[in-house]
Amino acid sequence: MSIFNRRNAAVGWLSWIVAKRVLKKKAKDAVPGTVEGSKRPNKGAIATALAAVGGALWFWRKKSSDDEPSPPPAGES
């Protein structure tokens, strides 16, 4: 008996369709959004935005300090 047949293919395809719908719903619910009934962002969205801005500033500061030429090592002229 073959493992790959039409019945198993159909069951797998239907399982995949259902799993995608469930995972999309879970992902949508997990994303920080707005407080219900208003356009004000909730605490998770505010924290995410602040963390993103802080990370960008930290990265930018670190990159700009790397651009400065370093002094030659001692002993070389």
Asked, for residue 25, whether it belongs to a domain, the answer is yes
Asked, for residue 73, whether it belongs to a domain, the answer is no
Sign of torsion over alpha carbons 38, 39, 44, 46? negative
How far, in Å, CA of 46 to CA of 58, rounded?
A: 18
Tell me the HSE value of 10 on the side-chain side, using a 13 A CA sphere: 3
pTM metric for this prediction = 0.42
How far, in Å, CA of 47 to CA of 31, rounded?
A: 12
Percent of the chain with pLDDT over 70: 73
3-class secondary-structure state, position 34? strand
Asked, for residue 77, whether it belongs to a domain, the answer is no
Asked, for residue 14, whether it belongs to a domain, the answer is yes
Asked, for residue 71, whether it belongs to a domain, the answer is no
> Is 20 or 38 the better-scoring residue by pLDDT?
20
The 10s digit of each residue's pLDDT in 14-28 is: 999 999 999 999 988
pLDDT(1) > 80:
no
Asked, for residue 50, whether it belongs to a domain, the answer is yes
Q: Which structural domain range is residue 57 located in?
A: 6-32+40-66
Backbone angles phi, psi at 2, to 5 degrees: -85, 140
Structural domain total, the chain: 1
Asked, for residue 58, whether it belongs to a domain, the answer is yes
